[in-house]
Structure formats: C-alpha cells, structure tokens
Structure 1
Amino acid sequence: MNARQIEIFRTIMRKGSLTAAANALAVSQPAISKSLRHFESHLGYMLFDRIGGRLVPTAEAEMLFADADRIFREIELLDELALNIRERRVGLLRIGVSLSMIPTILPTALVAFKANHPTVKIQVHTQPKAETSEQLQIGGIDMGLTVSTIQAPTIRNEILAATPVVAVLQADDPLAALPVLTVEELKDRPLISYGSQVEIGAMLDDAFEQIGVTRPQAIQVSSSLVAAPLVQAGLGIALIDGFMPWDKYPGLVTRPFKPQLMMNLAISTNSEKPASRLLSAFRLNLRDAIRQYQTDHGTDAQL
C-alpha cells in the first residue's frame, strides 16, 4: 500500500466514478483503473462492486475510506503549513466558531486583537461543534469557540462565560405578557431548540419530563442564529442561548425560562498540540468583548 493508491481510492470514493476521479487527478482513466486493481490485489479484497457499469463501494471500502480521508486531510493541512512557512507569514490564528458568536462576541474581540497584531493572518471557520472537535484533534484549527464544552480525551476547555437558556417569542404572543416562562406555559406550544443528542437538549428534555410531558420540539436547530427568523415566521417559540442580540430582531422579545438551565461559552484547545503564543492574547480580547457585550445589551451572561 502506498500514498498514491490511497489518494486514488479516496478520490474514487469522493467522485463516484473512475472517469470523475481521473479528471480530478489529471490522469487517464486506464491509469486509475490499473491502480485500483493493484490496490485491491494488495488488500486481498474488492473495494467496489461493478453493477450496471457503475462502481458501488463495498462495506470494506466504506470502512477504509474514513481513515483514508482523515490521512489526506492531515496531508492537506501539512501542505498549508508548508506554504505559510515558505511565505514567511508572521503568524496564523485559526478559529473554529459557533455561528451565534459571529454577530456578537467575535467581531469585537478580533478588532482588538488585530490592533495589536496587525500582521497576523486569521482564519475563521464557522462549523458545528462536532467538526470543531475533529479539527482540533487533527490540528486543523488552533482553538474552538463554542456555546458548550467539547468532550474529547485531548481537548482542554476554558469556560469564558455562562448564560441561561431564554425563551424567544413574538412580541404579540399572549405569553409575552408573562415575566417568566416555565415548562407549564410551554408544554403545548411548538418549540424551536436544540436536539436531544446535545447536552443542553437533554437538559431541556429532563425539564419537561419533570412535569410528565415530552418536550414539544417542532424544529431542531444547531445554532441560535438560525432560530430568530423561524420565530419571526411564527413557527414556534425558541428555547435558545442568551448570547444572541435578540433586541436587534424586530418583533421579538425574550423572557427568562424556568427552570434555569445554563450554557457555557468556552474556548477549546488540544492539550497535545503546542499552544500558539497568540492564544493568550486572544483570550484576553474575548473576555473584554464579553464584558462589553454584557454592558451594551444588559445580558445575564456571567464571567
């Protein structure tokens, strides 16, 4: 087995045919076919079934592809690092961030950071927490900024702030007249919130189960940024984190939710990777940005 064979196999899996893989790798289709036959011969089993002129991956191919894809993603990261070194870039800070941080905390922190580090290159990757965790572990990013901690063996979490889950609803909703919304008021209303597979979603499930009902989840979202237009459209009441500037959305109001459930804004890094000298400075900028956000919006978020 060699790197070229793995690359060809990976490309066939991604592109779905020998012709498409050959075009992607700028080689002839016979060369791709020959390499695949040699690879299968070396492994001792077939990677694809030939059905109706199409290649259909076998179960063994699906198992092999996961590691093959990871290996080449790491090679791509190495290529990027080599390019950064060749171009003598002064520094690079790569951040994986939850969507809800884009209109709130992150811009303020980056403005302050760039004022003191004008030559540092910054990459911002908006992605789900699971992908942030993966990228941290393979070295694709230097830090994650998420609205809940990442649970993985090599990941170190630092909680920057905590905020309670709030109810976001239309201003003309009858429930908006209440100072606080509880599970009793919401048990028969369609809810927009996180899935049960994440920590806060499971906590919300438990809160409703305490009164003997199942959480009336109408729409599952992975980010509070997605919830706002859905509430505006009348699709339900959102139970979501309080980091968002909800006052910026016309026609929406927020109310405290009881029982109080807290969500944590956290920085995540890989304890097995060398710490970037830039991270300490950026942590301070993030803390300052949170304080400013609290002052400007009067949130309940706590450091």
Structure 2
Amino acid sequence: MLTNLTHRQLDAFRAVIETGQVTAAATALNTTQPSVSRMISDLERSVGFMLFERRGRQLVPTTEALALYEEVERSFVGLAEISRVAADIRDFRTGSLMIAGMPALALKFLPDVIAAFIRMEPGVSVSLRTRSSQAVLQHVSSQQFDLGFATLDADHPAVTRRPLYTAPMRAVLPLGHPLAEKTHLEPGDFHDQPFIALGAEIATRSETDVFFAARKARPRVVAEAQLSASICELVAAGAGLGIVEPVTAANFAAAGRVLSRPLHPEQPFQYDLLLPALREPSRLATRFLNLVERQFVELLGAQAL
C-alpha cells in the first residue's frame, strides 16, 4: 500500500482532470501553476505511473489516471482505499482490456494469448469480440476498445494502424495427400485439383486468383468459405486443397488436422494492430501486446524461414 499520498495532491489531480489545464486547476484551487505541477509530479512518483499526456495546452489523462479518478470521486472510501487502488493499478492487480479481433486471430490465437495473460495478471479482466476486419475498425474508432487486430487496406482518422506481423500465405492439404511429398506448392500443382476458395468478397481471394492466373492454373473450385478456419475444416474433411493465412494454417497443422506447405511464389499476408488514435495504449495493453508479438514468433517464426 502507498503511504505518502496527500489530500492536496489528490485535490490537484482532481482539478487537472476536470479542467484539463494546470493553469485552470491552479485558479480553481487558489494556488499557483508551479504548485499544481509539483503536486502532480509528486503524485506520479507516489503512485508509480504517468497520469497525464500533454497535447498542446491540454493535459489528457491516461487510462490509469481515469481508473484512479473513479476512486478519488468516491470520497467516502477514504485516503487509505485510494492508496490501495493506486498500488493495484501500478502492480497490474486490477484493470480491464477491451479487444476486437478478426476471426483468423480471435478463434484461437488471441484466446491462447489471453489465457497466458490472465495467468500472469489474475486481477485483470479481458473482453474479446470476434468481428470482421471492417467491424474491428469501427469498434476501435469508437475509442471504447483498447486493441484491435485486423487486416485492412484503408485507414480511419480515429484509428492508428500499425503493421503487426507479416508472413506468407500457406497451402493446406488433407492428411496423406500426394502433394505432401513436395517441399512447396506452385500454381501448377493446384491445376484441376478440388479447391476450397475464399469468398469472392474477401480481398485475399483476388490475390489467390492472380497467383493461379500467372501460370494459367485452373483448380476446380468445389466450395467457398469466408473464414480460413472453415476452409481448413473442409480440407481436413478431405474436400480438397486450400490457401489460407498463416496463423490458421499453423494452428490446424499443429493440431494434426491438415498438412501445411509454403507457396512459390510467396503471397505475403499482413496482420494489422489497430489502436484508438485519441489516447495512448495503457500499460496493460502494452504488456498484452508483448505477449502477442511473442506468440507470433513462436507460432510462425520457424515456419517463415
């Protein structure tokens, strides 16, 4: 528990939250601007995390500051309880994450990361929404979600989009398929083979069509599906071959459901990280992203070689 908090520090903190400026807070408290700045700095040292980000003349509270402010507002809890909450926020014993993810990551990859995360941080709650990439973009643009995982070719003014991981698309084959003897598959290997394609509305479908057209290969499309997982299920059932993004291919191959082979020439696939543009990632979100990056390397690092 923190023991060096003072009422004056919390008064200054509350005033800056409500006015957005040190000058206005100083006026409200009938004190000087340097005094308020010093009390905020002292409070940040006491609680162990940053409380405000400066944007022009405005001070924007961090996610952690807003969590602390909720407790400060509940004045009946007393200074000792506020100190305890601040210590919990600092030490990751409380907090929450709102995450939206495309199905390719939200069906298994992200749940695996979340399970590891809550083992590390048992006081934290995580909410995961599985949505299309466009819907993930809209969720994050609302500023209500902390992290989004998608594949996009367009930006949104309220969202910061960053490349997260790029790896080649993979061919998936039924167990025991004759083509499994090959180290990689070329367009001609798919010619006249039963093939499960991505739906025509999926952007990656056009890239796969170009992959085949470049060598005048014509697979027999026996089924279409919107999700890579659905394609892998059809491949596992022996319906034909498929080409899917690398995470789903790796998960199904690791489970012994399908065989996975690289393509030549390669088809790069990029996973994007989406962040709300109006605030910086919280310390919890940053900690979670470290696990995400590690999971990508563990799952695809060897495969991408």
Question: TM range, normalised to the smaller chain?
Answer: 0.5 to 0.7
Please list every run of 5 or more consecutive structure 2 residues that lacks an aligned counterpart in the other structure.
1-65, 75-84
Cα deviation, 1:37-83, whole Å, max 9, x if unaligned, reads xxxxxxxxxxxxxxxxxxxxxxxxxxxxxxxxxxxxxxxxxxxx9xx
Aligned position for 1:165: 169
For residue 149 of structure 1, the aligned residue among 133, 149, 152 is 152
Relative to structure 1, the CA distance from residue 108 to residue 235 in structure 2 (aligned partners, 3 Å threshold; closer, same or farther) is closer
For residue 290 of structure 2, the aligned residue among 257, 266, 284 is 284
> Is the contact made by 1:93 and 1:122 (CA closer than 8 Å) also made in structure 2?
yes
Deviates more, 1:235-244 or 1:272-281: 272-281
1:230 equivalent to 2:238? Answer no
Relative to structure 1, the CA distance from residue 261 to residue 294 in structure 2 (aligned partners, 3 Å threshold; closer, same or farther) is closer
Q: Take 1:133 and 1:227, find their aligned partners in 2: how far apart are those partners?
A: 24
Relative to structure 1, the CA distance from residue 280 to residue 249 in structure 2 (aligned partners, 3 Å threshold; closer, same or farther) is closer
> Is the contact made by 1:109 and 1:285 (CA closer than 8 Å) also made in structure 2?
yes
Relative to structure 1, the CA distance from residue 266 to residue 151 in structure 2 (aligned partners, 3 Å threshold; closer, same or farther) is same
Q: Take 1:212 and 1:275, find their aligned partners in 2: how far apart are those partners?
A: 47
Relative to structure 1, the CA distance from residue 100 to residue 153 in structure 2 (aligned partners, 3 Å threshold; closer, same or farther) is closer
> Is the contact made by 2:193 and 2:219 (CA closer than 8 Å) also made in structure 1?
no
Aligned alpha-carbon RMSD (Å): 3.1
Q: Take 2:270 and 2:98, find their aligned partners in 1: how far apart are those partners?
A: 21
- Following superposition, the deviation at residue 181 of structure 1 comes to 1.3
Q: Take 2:203 and 2:290, find their aligned partners in 1: how far apart are those partners?
A: 27
Tell me the TM-score normalised to structure 1 length: 0.61
User: 1:135-146 counterparts in 2 under 5 A?
Assistant: 135-146=139-150
| Greater Rg over alpha carbons, structure | 2
User: 1:98-247 counterparts in 2 under 5 A?
Assistant: 98-102=102-106, 104-146=108-150, 148-149=151-152, 151-154=154-157, 155-212=159-216, 216-244=220-248, 245-247=251-253
Aligned position for 2:100: 96
Deviates more, 1:188-197 or 1:256-265: 188-197
Q: Which amino acid aligns with 1:109?
A: V
- Following superposition, the deviation at residue 102 of structure 1 comes to 4.4
- Following superposition, the deviation at residue 171 of structure 1 comes to 2.5
- Following superposition, the deviation at residue 116 of structure 1 comes to 4.8
Q: Take 2:108 and 2:232, find their aligned partners in 1: how far apart are those partners?
A: 14
Q: Take 1:120 and 1:187, find their aligned partners in 2: how far apart are those partners?
A: 51
- Following superposition, the deviation at residue 280 of structure 1 comes to 1.6
> Is the contact made by 1:228 and 1:249 (CA closer than 8 Å) also made in structure 2?
no
Please list every run of 5 or more consecutive structure 1 residues that lacks an aligned counterpart in the other structure.
1-80
Q: Take 2:116 and 2:108, find their aligned partners in 1: how far apart are those partners?
A: 14
Relative to structure 1, the CA distance from residue 293 to residue 213 in structure 2 (aligned partners, 3 Å threshold; closer, same or farther) is closer
Relative to structure 1, the CA distance from residue 213 to residue 292 in structure 2 (aligned partners, 3 Å threshold; closer, same or farther) is closer
> Is the contact made by 1:171 and 1:252 (CA closer than 8 Å) also made in structure 2?
yes
Identity over aligned pairs, percent: 19
Q: Which amino acid aligns with 1:149?
A: L
Relative to structure 1, the CA distance from residue 273 to residue 151 in structure 2 (aligned partners, 3 Å threshold; closer, same or farther) is farther
Determine which structure has greater relative contact order: mean sequence separation of CA pairs < 8 Å that are 6+ residues apart, divided by chain length: 1
